[in-house]
């Protein structure tokens, strides 16, 4: 049995060692690499001052006037893919300025986003010149002269889940850092802002860590399967290596004799010793990382889906129309509104709606045209619509973060605000909903399966719980174990390569030939 463990670890280690080097190196990069994608808060921080004027259209008017263009656009393969029958309706609307043009950015009930002119209601798209103007407003007047249009493409390797926002304009900034902006031609939103260093960290971190090169090779459809198989093999190799290490460790305790010269391990060679000790000390952390990474691929679909589906989101919001939202026309802001308002957003639950003003500092303020926040009745009704036949067990206001709802990893308080409403469903899955009462967003939907996943993946992979997540303790913890993992995997690569070379038939034949030549030379000298 012991021999079998050694052989399994040896040959699986040879097979997987380079992947382990890649994972530990890219994981260490990810720890400190920021996200290239711009959050809503970052977009607002660079947003153009809105300053609404008389004569601008309501979202309902813009929606009606754009109907012929939207129907024509829906006939294209890209827009019609996966479409359901029936007329779409306004689910949420935001008013912004892009290159001085006031726009309603409307999310409809089918999950699509439209940019509608607040002047004439036409369906708007940003061309190359407008993209340059948007970029100039983003970087500031002092840097605008350094902007250069590069290309318009359907997709970029660094962008994910942006099919509805294509095509994408790429704008370069000649500032010595090779800065770039990726801007949606569909809506005019800045999707990414990055420097050469940011992109380098992305390529060396996130891109390698989850095998994104397979997407560029046309194998994106099997990438998750490849990840699952490789991480599964790595899991077995790490587990058997940990067992082998403990079996071979002889510290001289309890009367068990150590190895020759009082050594507690059997290896004299440099790389073998480094592999033994890094595996013995850091092997448990490596095993937990590989195990949680394996579960992240959701093998055999043992965990439920992470987010509410489109149908669930539609049920939660309801099919009613809000006259207040559809008919409200913007006018010059009053003195009670902060001067640097860059966005006005309408949100709806059922027939209730809330109008919020957002400024560059990330603050939001409810305007008199809507409610200050959604009523308990509106939230309760939305929860019941989502729950369907399942009864609602309770609904409470939560003023503190818990183990499932918390900010982390480039997800700040804008994505995880407080206070929130937590609703519990009395269904078989134990579903829990976290809702922002001010804008009605369903921030998080978790059932017992996802709560289990939170501990088996996120807790073990990111160590984002309890005192582990206190910085700089978290930094010391993550970097230390990543370095142990790097030493473990690099030494495994060297040891495995040497073992593989010694096992090659050509090497064996060469060694036998050399031995025969030496023997022949010895016999000749003796004659």
Residue partners of 330: CB distance under 8 A and separation at least 6:
52, 53, 56, 58, 95, 118, 344
Residue partners of 67: CB distance under 8 A and separation at least 6:
none
Distance CA 211, CA 132 (A): 33
Give percent helix, percent strand, percent coil of the chain, each to the nearest 5: 50, 15, 35
Res 75: pLDDT: 74
* Cβ–Cβ < 8 Å for 168, 184: yes
**pLDDT tens digit sequence for 192-224:** 999 999 999 999 999 999 999 998 888 989 999
* Cβ–Cβ < 8 Å for 50, 94: no
Domain spans, the chain: 1-32+210-306+470-527, 40-199, 373-462
Q: What is the mean pLDDT of the chain?
A: 89
Res 135: pLDDT: 97
Between 409 and 406, the more confident residue is 406
**pLDDT tens digit sequence for 471-497:** 899 999 999 999 999 999 999 999 999
Of 144, 140, 117, nearest in space to 132 by CA: 144
Res 523: pLDDT: 38
Res 95: pLDDT: 96
Res 527: pLDDT: 35
Beta strands in 374-489 (DSSP E): 392-398, 420-425, 432-435, 442-446
Question: CA-based angle 240:241:247, to the nearest 5?
Answer: 90
Question: CA-based angle 128:133:139, to the nearest 5?
Answer: 120
Q: Give me Rg for the CA atoms of the chain.
A: 30
Distance CA 60, CA 521 (A): 98
Res 508: pLDDT: 53
Straight-line distance from the first to the last Cα atom of the chain, in angstroms, rounded to the nearest whole number: 50
Distance CA 347, CA 40 (A): 15
Distance CA 90, CA 316 (A): 14
Residue partners of 131: CB distance under 8 A and separation at least 6:
149, 169, 171, 183, 185, 188
Give the CATH architecture of domain 373-462.
Answer: Roll (3.10)
Res 408: pLDDT: 77
51: which 2 tokens?
A: 């300053």
Band (512; pLDDT cuts 50, 70, 90): low
Band (245; pLDDT cuts 50, 70, 90): very high
Predicted model pTM: 0.88
Distance CA 290, CA 327 (A): 54
Band (337; pLDDT cuts 50, 70, 90): low
**pLDDT tens digit sequence for 16-29:** 999 999 999 999 99
Hey, is 251 helix, strand or coil? coil
| 343: β partners | 358
Distance CA 205, CA 492 (A): 21
Distance CA 84, CA 266 (A): 67
Distance CA 400, CA 420 (A): 9
Cα separations in angstroms, 357 against 338, 361, 401: 9, 12, 25
Res 525: pLDDT: 41
pLDDT average, residue stretch 267-278: 94
Band (34; pLDDT cuts 50, 70, 90): confident
């Amino acid at each position: 049995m012991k021999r079998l463990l050694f052989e399994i670890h040896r040959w699986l280690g040879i097979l997987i060692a380079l992947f382990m080097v890649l994972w530990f190196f890219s994981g260490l990069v990810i720890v400190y690499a920021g996200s290239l994608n711009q959050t809503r808060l970052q977009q607002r921080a660079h947003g153009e001052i809105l300053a609404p004027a008389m004569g601008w259209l309501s979202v309902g008017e813009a929606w009606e006037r754009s109907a012929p263009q939207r129907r024509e656009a829906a006939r294209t393969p890209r827009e019609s893919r996966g479409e359901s029958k029936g007329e779409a309706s306004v689910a949420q609307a935001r008013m912004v300025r892009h290159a001085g043009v006031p726009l309603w950015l409307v999310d409809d009930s089918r999950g699509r986003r439209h940019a509608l002119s607040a002047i004439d209601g036409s369906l708007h798209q940003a061309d190359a010149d407008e993209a340059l103007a948007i970029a100039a407003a983003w970087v500031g007047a002092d840097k605008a002269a350094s902007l250069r249009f590069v290309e318009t493409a359907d997709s970029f390797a660094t962008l994910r889940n942006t099919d509805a926002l294509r095509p994408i304009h790429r704008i370069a900034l000649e500032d010595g850092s090779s800065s770039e902006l990726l801007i949606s031609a569909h809506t005019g939103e800045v999707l990414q802002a990055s420097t050469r260093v940011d992109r380098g960290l992305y390529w060396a971190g996130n891109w390698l860590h989850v095998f994104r090169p397979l997407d560029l090779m046309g194998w994106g459809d099997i990438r998750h399967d490849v990840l699952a198989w490789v991480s599964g093999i790595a899991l077995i190799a790490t587990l058997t290596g940990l067992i082998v290490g403990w079996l071979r460790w002889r510290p001289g305790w309890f009367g068990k004799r150590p190895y020759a010269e009082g050594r507690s391990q059997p290896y004299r060679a440099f790389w073998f010793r480094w592999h033994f000790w890094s595996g013995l000390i850091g092997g448990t952390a490596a095993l937990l990382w590989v195990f949680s990474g394996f579960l992240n691929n959701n093998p055999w679909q043992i965990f439920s889906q992470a987010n509410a589906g489109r149908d669930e989101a539609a049920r939660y919001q309801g099919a009613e129309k809000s006259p207040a939202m559809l008919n409200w026309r913007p006018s010059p802001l009053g003195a009670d509104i902060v001067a640097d308002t860059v966005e006005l957003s309408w949100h709806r639950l059922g027939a209730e709606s809330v109008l919020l003003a957002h400024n560059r500092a990330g603050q939001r303020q409810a305007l008199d045209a809507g409610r200050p926040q959604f009523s308990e009745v509106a939230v309760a009704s939305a929860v019941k619509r989502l729950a369907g036949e399942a009864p609602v067990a309770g609904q409470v206001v939560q003023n503190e973060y818990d183990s499932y709802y918390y900010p982390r990893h480039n997800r700040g308080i804008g994505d995880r605000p407080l206070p929130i409403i937590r609703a519990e469903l009395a269904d078989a899955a134990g579903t829990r909903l976290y809702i922002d009462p001010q804008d009605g967003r369903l921030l998080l939907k978790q059932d017992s399966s996802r709560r289990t996943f939170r501990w088996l993946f996120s807790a073990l992979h990111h160590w984002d719980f309890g005192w582990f997540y206190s910085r700089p303790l978290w930094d010391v913890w993550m970097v230390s174990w990543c370095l142990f993992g790097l030493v473990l995997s690099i030494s495994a690569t060297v040891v495995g390569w040497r073992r593989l070379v010694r096992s090659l038939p050509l090497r064996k034949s060469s060694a036998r030939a050399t031995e025969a030549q030496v023997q022949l030379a010895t016999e000749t000298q003796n004659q």
